[in-house]
Amino acid sequence: MKRRVIFSFMTVILLMLILVESVLYFGVREYYYQGMSSTFQNHADTSSVFLQKYEFNEYQLLNIDQHSNEIMNSLEYEGAQLELINREGTVMMSNYGFKQEKRQHLPPSVLEGETNYEAETNSATGEKVLATYTPLLYQGQVIAALKYTSSLTEVSKAIHHVMYLAISVGLFISLIVFIISLKLANSIVTPIHEITRDAYKMGKTNFKTRIKEDYILEIGQLSETLNYMADEIEKTDQMKNDFISSISHELRTPLTGIKGWIETIRTSEVLTEEEIELGMNIISNETNRLISLVEQLLDFSRFQSKRIVLEKTSIPLAPFIEEVTQQLRVKAEEKHLTFSIEGDDELSIMADESRLKQVLINVYDNAIKYSKEQSSIHTSYHEVEKEIIIAIKDYGIGISKLDLPLVMQTFYQSNINQGGSGLGLAISNEIIDLHDGSITISSELGKGTCVTITLPKQTCNT
C-alpha cells in the first residue's frame, strides 16, 4: 500500500512537472522568437519614412528593384541576412551578395500588411534560423517584402540554459516531493497497519485490546471510534455474562423448589393434606414464575426480530391502572406498601392493553422490589398538549447517577443479588417506543425513583 501511495503522489507530481516544463519551454521559445521578430519589424518600420522621399509612378512601383540598393542599405540589420522580395516571391536583392533563382513562398498575411515569422532550416548550412517576413509599404500599399534571417544558435543556447535550470529545479522539487510522499505514506500506512492488526485481535474476541489514539486527523478519530466500540462490546459482553449468571439462578431456584416438593410428595407417606396442598401451591407458583421468565425471554426475542404487532384499543386509564395495582397489591402488602392514585377519571388512551399492562407491571414490580417497608407508591396521570403522562414514584433506595443511564439497557442489573432477568425495563422501553412514546427515569440515591411514561393520546393503528 505504501508503494501505491508514493507511486500515486509521484505520478501526479511528475505529470504536473512535465506539463509545467512543456509550457515553460514553448513560452520561453515564443518569447525569444517574438522578441527577435519585433526587433526586425521595428527596424523595418522606418521603411515607410524612407520611401516617402520618393515619388513613384505606376511603372516604378512595378520595377522597385531599380531602388533595391538604396532600400537594402537603409534597412539592413547587423547580424542578420536581409532579402528584398517582390510580391511574386522573387528575391530582388540580398545583403549576402547573390540572388536565389528559386522563388520563395511569402506567407499570405505578409501580402496583407502583417509581419510573420517562422523557424526554418538554412538549406545551405543546415543551421536552424528564424525568418521574419515584414511588408514594405508605400502609401499603405504592399510593394515588396523584407525577409530578415537570423541564426537561432545563440537563442537555442539561451533556451537550453533556461530549460536546464528549470529541469534542475523540477528534479529538486521531485526529490522533496518524494521525501514528503514517503513520510506522508508512512503516516497513513503505518497507523492503518497497526489499526488493522489490533482490529483483527478485537475480531478474535480480545476486547481488552486498545489502539493508540495519538494519530492525527481522521485516523485518530478512527482509533477513538474502534476503542469506543471495543468498550461498548466489552460492557455488553459483561452484561451478557451477568445475564446468563442471573438467568441461570432465576431458572435454578424455582426448578429446585419444584423438584424438591415433587420428590417429597412422591416419596413421603406421612404428609398431611395441608402439607400436600402447600407443596402443590409452591409448585404452581414456581411454575408460573418460570412461565413469566420464559415469556420475557420470548418477548425479548420478538422485539429483537421486530415481530411484535400492536393491537390498539381505547383504554380508560382510571380503571386500567386500578386493575394493575390490584394485581400487585398482595405483593405490595408483604412490605406494607400502599398505592395512591390521582388523575382525570375521564382520560383514555389508544394503546395495546396487554402490552401497556406489561409495562406498568414491570415498573410497579421494580418499585415494590426497591421500596422501603411501610412506604408508598404514588401514581399520577394527566394530559399535556395531546400527550398522556403517567408518573409512578416510589420512596425506595433510588438509583445511583452511575447506574441511571444504564438501567434500560438489555441485561443490565444494578444489583445482581436482587435477582431478575435484566430484561423488564428494556422490554418496556421497546413497547413504549412502538407506541411512539418515551420512558424517562429520574432518581436520587436513598430518596426514591420516578418513572415517567409519555404516550400520544391518539396514534394511528400499527
Per-residue pLDDT tens over the stretch 189-229: 777 888 888 888 877 777 777 877 777 777 788 888 888 88
Neighbour-count burial for 439-450, b at 16+ CB within 10 Å, e otherwise: bebebeeeebbb
Of the pLDDT bands very low, low, confident and very high (cuts 50, 70, 90), residue 459 is very low
CB–CB of 210/230 below 8 Å? yes
Q: Is the pLDDT of residue 150 over 80?
A: yes
Domain limit, last residue, from 304, 325, 341? 304
pLDDT of residue 135 exceeding 80, the answer is yes
Give the angle 52-57-59 at the CA atoms, nearest 5°: 130
Sign of dihedral through CA atoms 241, 244, 250, 256? negative
3-class DSSP state of 380:
strand
Task: Show the domain range for 316.
Answer: 312-456
Determine the pLDDT at residue 98: 55
For residue 62, being part of any structural domain is answered with no
Which phi-psi region, left, alpha or beta, contains residue 139 (left: φ > 0; alpha: ψ -120 to 50)? left
**DSSP β-ladder status, 338-343 and 376-384:** parallel
pLDDT recorded at residue 63: 53
The residue that leads in pLDDT, 451 or 459, is 451
Instruction: Give the DSSP letter of residue 257.
Output: H
Q: How far apart are CA 30 and CA 250, in angstroms?
A: 93
* Better-predicted residue by pLDDT, 191 or 175: 175
> Where are the extended beta strands (E) located within 91-200?
91-94, 116-121, 128-138, 141-151
- pLDDT over 70 (residue 371): yes
- Out of 304, 337, 367, a domain closes at 304
What is the pLDDT, as a whole number, of residue 56? 52
Mark whether 322 and 394 lie in a shared domain: yes
pLDDT at 416: 47
What confidence category does residue 460 fall into, taking pLDDT thresholds of 50, 70 and 90?
very low
248 and 337 within one domain: no
Check whether residue 317 and residue 406 sit in a common domain. yes
Q: Let me know if residue 226 belongs to a domain.
A: yes
- Residue 365, Cα to own-chain centre: how many angstroms? 46
How far apart, in whole angstroms, are the C-alpha atoms of residue 23 and residue 344?
86
Last residue of a domain, one of 256, 272, 304: 304
Query: Could you tell me if 239 and 272 lie in one domain?
Result: yes
Q: What is the pLDDT of residue 308?
A: 76
Please list the residues that pair with 98 across neighbouring strands. none
392 lies in the same domain as 256 = no
With respect to residue 211, please indicate whether it lies within any of the assigned structural domains.
Answer: no
Question: Is 143 in contact with 61 (CB distance < 8 Å)?
Answer: yes
Same domain, 341 and 427: yes
Question: Are residues 404 and 420 both part of a single domain?
Answer: yes
241, 258: one domain? yes
168 occurs within a structural domain: no
- Closest-CA residue to 27 (of 35, 37, 38, 15): 35
Q: Determine which of 79-88, 156-165, 316-325, 447-456 has the lowest per-residue pLDDT on average.
A: 79-88
Q: Apex CA 92: angle with CA 87 and CA 95, to 5°?
A: 125
Are 323 and 299 contained in the same domain? no
Q: What contacts 446, CB < 8 A, 6 or more positions away?
A: 397, 398
Kindly report, residue by residue over 275-292, the tens digit of the pLDDT. 888 889 888 988 887 887
Answer whether residue 322 is part of any domain: yes
Distance (Å, whole) CA 157 – CA 365: 98
CATH number, domain of 397, equals: 3.30.565.10
CA–CA separation, 409 vs 429, rounded Å? Answer: 9
Residue 45 lies in a domain: no
Total structural domains in the chain?
2
Same domain, 296 and 337: no
Q: Which residue has the cell 413469566?
A: 292
Evaluate whether residue 33 is within a structural domain: no
Pick from 293, 21, 288: which is nearest to 162 by CA?
Answer: 21
Q: Is the pLDDT of residue 123 over 50?
A: yes
Cell numbers at 106, concatenated: 511569402
Please name the amino acid found at residue 91. V
Hey, CA dihedral for 137, 141, 144, 146, is it positive or negative? positive
Q: Say which CATH number the domain at 278 has.
A: 1.10.287.130
Instruction: Say how far apart CA 41 and CA 148 lie, in whole Å.
Output: 9
Residue with cell 477513538: 224
Say what the pLDDT of residue 266 is.
Answer: 83
Return phi, psi of residue 357, to 5°.
-65, -40
Domain assignment present for residue 50? The answer is: no
318 and 433 both lie in a single domain: yes
Whether 319 and 299 map to the same domain: the answer is no
CA distances to 135, 301, 439 from 296, in Å: 104, 9, 19
Of 270-279, 312-321, 332-341, the poorest mean pLDDT is in 270-279
Average pLDDT taken over every residue of the chain: 81
Are 149 and 130 contacting, i.e. CB atoms less than 8 angstroms apart? yes
The mean pLDDT of 70-81, rounded to a whole number, is: 74
Q: What is the pLDDT, as a whole number, of residue 112?
A: 84
Confidence at 379, pLDDT banded by 50, 70, 90: very high
The tens digit of pLDDT for each residue in 386-405 reads: 899 999 999 999 888 888 88
Q: Edge-to-edge strands of the sheet including 376-384?
A: 338-343, 376-384, 387-394, 448-456, 438-444
